[in-house]
Chains A and B, each alone.
Chain A
Amino acid sequence: MISPRVLARLAAEAIALAAVPLVAGNDYYVNLGSQVLIAAIFAMSLNILVGYGGMTSLGHAAYLGVSAYATAWLAQRMGMGPLAAGACALAITTLLAAFYGVLALRASGLGFLMITLALGQILWGLAYRWVAVTGGDNGLSGLARPAPFGWDLGSATAFYYFSLAVFGIAFAAIGLFVGSPFGASLKGARDQPRRMRALGYNVWLIRWISFVVSGFWGGVAGLLYVYYNNFISPHALSLTQSAEALLMVIAGGPATLLGPLVGAALVIVMKNVVSAYVERWTLLLGAVFVAIVIFLPDGLVPGAQRLWARWASRRGKGGR
């Protein structure tokens, strides 16, 4: 059961996110909001693996990229409608995650990290070299934004609200997933895999299912990504893309629902806004991450919650 306090907090967060286009002033900031939401869905999907499953992946861009490429290719080359192309792209991405999961879960820890990195790099290389399908360096462009149920997503505001709706669904679904008995099994497999086996849990299968679910939501982020940009290039599959998502999770707070959104906002704002004013913004981004790791090692969201609790307890004592 969700407590009234959590419900009130979620409502406040939803209202704040819904108000972005109203207070943004111009399309630039609304588009920035859409980018944050897409990145947040992508980071949330990775958080299932990293935060809740303890499986650090450096190949997660594979799902975002494959979903985006598949959507663009099916829509443009096969003439499919956006809904059919999106559904097929998600099915392809989920199958890919199922296959990659079988390979990657042969190892754990550093081995898992290296396998996911290698699998991601294979797809990135394929996107560059398989010019007939992917367009190589030039990528695939010219994809028009869809109009689901007559809702034209052409404008910045409409696309923002569409992304927000998808984000809301992803947030609720992933929240339910990690709070369910299966989610408890996943966290148990992260903390004490040996004990979990002795308790009757098939740890490999729990991890594999989570890997597939994580890939599915990565694919959902890919759908939004390709329709936001109307373009897809090998960059979407790059190591940078995977590493950025990992930084979002770590900065925001692994194994928290809100952490990936906060981490995504931090990275996207630094990339797009701060870079306009600070030439060496990557240096600044690096410094921010170092500061987070030193002062809030469990991430911004848990760190802020801890500081708030400490402040509230001091205030309570002072008031007595």
Chain B
Amino acid sequence: MTAALSIADLRKSFGGLPATDGVSMEIAAGERRLIIGPNGAGKTTLFNLISGDLRADSGSVRLFGEEVGHLRPDQRAQRGLARTYQIITLFPRNTIAENVILAMLGLTPSRWQPLLPLARRRDLRERAREVLARVGLEAVADRPLAAASYGEKRRAEIAMALAQDPRLLLLDEPLAGLSMEERKSVQALLEAIPRDVTIVMIEHDTDAALAFAERITVLHYGTVIVEGTRAEVVAHPRTREVYLGA
């Protein structure tokens, strides 16, 4: 079976300092993979290399068997890759529903339509409401994003990624900054994502993240130091040394 994501010897340096130093990993379709590591380990850089926000110095990124290392981020998105950002990156002048509509529109040819009013696309509005209902934001769909709470924005980010109907979803610290209650509801939301979506997640909340993931990759100084099942990684002395503590 073709892996959802296959990375081989991926390298990226900034000013001679390697941020990703020969990372290789294979993530099976439908898998829930967690990437952990201390600050500066190169986790977000790795996500940026996978999504195409950054170009790798060398190495290969294959998405469902297709080499995408040379493709732009929008081309990778068209191939079923969606992501969220560590720092919330949404459209503050729009409503929550309009944010989701933009996400849905991005993968349809009608995004090039220059003369028909977007306001007339009732189908998009209805689908946006359905997606927002999945993340519990239906009641605030018409709220301007600027007036939304931090937790609502985090959910809106996930809603936008889901609206893209992705095959591979990269979640960069989806629980960061959320209250205990919000974390629980976002966790439940992530667990409800169907198995035809492969999920790779960076998360510092180890309790929540370890419960979610099937396999875990530990990064340190841009290299993979441990990889395996939850039990294997937690028991590994290197994990304890660089990340979990004694």
Contacts and interface: CB of A to CB of B under 8 A. Distances in A.
Interface of A: 1, 176-177, 179-185, 187-188, 191-192, 194-203, 213
Given A177-B115, A192-B89, A1 B74 contact: no
B120 A1 contact: yes
Interface in B176-200: none
B112 A199 contact: no
A188 B118 CA distance: 13
Contacts of B112: 181-182
Given A185-B105, A188-B91, A192-B90, A198 B82 contact: yes
Contacts of B117: 1, 176, 179-180
B106 A201 contact: yes
Contacts of A188: 91, 102
In this complex, which of B85, B106, B118, B120 has the most chain A Cβ atoms within 10 angstroms of its Cβ?
Answer: B106
Contact of A180 (B82, B93, B107, B113): B113
B121 A195 contact: no
12 contacts: A1-B119, A179-B117, A181-B105, A181-B112, A192-B91, A197-B72, A198-B73, A199-B77, A199-B107, A199-B164, A201-B74, A202-B72
A165 B2 CA distance: 60
B73 to A, nearest CB: 4
A200 B83 CA distance: 11
A192 B98 CA distance: 14
A1 B85 CA distance: 34
B15 interface: no
B111 interface: yes
Contacts of B85: 195
Contact of B90 (A1, A181, A195, A197): A195
B77 A197 contact: yes
Contacts of A213: 114
Contacts of B149: none
